[in-house]
Amino acid sequence: MKADIHPGTRPVIFQDTITGAQFKVLSTVKCDQKVVIDGTEYPLCKVDVSSSSHPFYTGTQRILDTAGRVEKFGNKFGAKAGSSLTSLLKKKI
């Protein structure tokens, strides 16, 4: 194995943005923020999903508002999308 080609690992704190849970892991990731834990300064990387907030690990399910998405689509594209879709469906039948 060649020397000096692998990045150095160091302890990094990964923080879940949803639950606020923090995990100390050895990593090579570059982070801009810092956090002090027990008098020691660590790089801080924020993540959207971790084992403390993922539905597979927590056993909870988030309900998405699908009706709101349909209304949002209708408002964005208006009657043009609805009329062309309706005309396409009528041709198929």
User: In angstroms, what CA-CA distances link 16 with 23, 47, 60, 65, 81?
Assistant: 9, 5, 16, 23, 39
Instruction: Give me the pLDDT at residue 57, please.
Output: 62
Instruction: Give me the pLDDT at residue 60, please.
Output: 73
Q: Where are the beta strands (DSSP E) in the chain?
A: 10-16, 22-27, 33-37, 40-47
The residue that leads in pLDDT, 66 or 10, is 10
Instruction: Give me the pLDDT at residue 62, please.
Output: 61
Q: What is the pLDDT of residues 21-71, one digit of tens each?
A: 899 999 999 999 999 999 999 999 998 888 787 767 676 766 555 667 777
Q: What is the pLDDT of residues 61-80, one digit of tens each?
A: 665 556 677 777 777 877 66
DSSP structural state of residue 63: P
38 three-state secondary structure: coil
Q: How far apart are the first and last CA of the chain?
A: 66
Task: Give the whole-angstrom CA distance, residue 57 versus residue 50.
Answer: 9
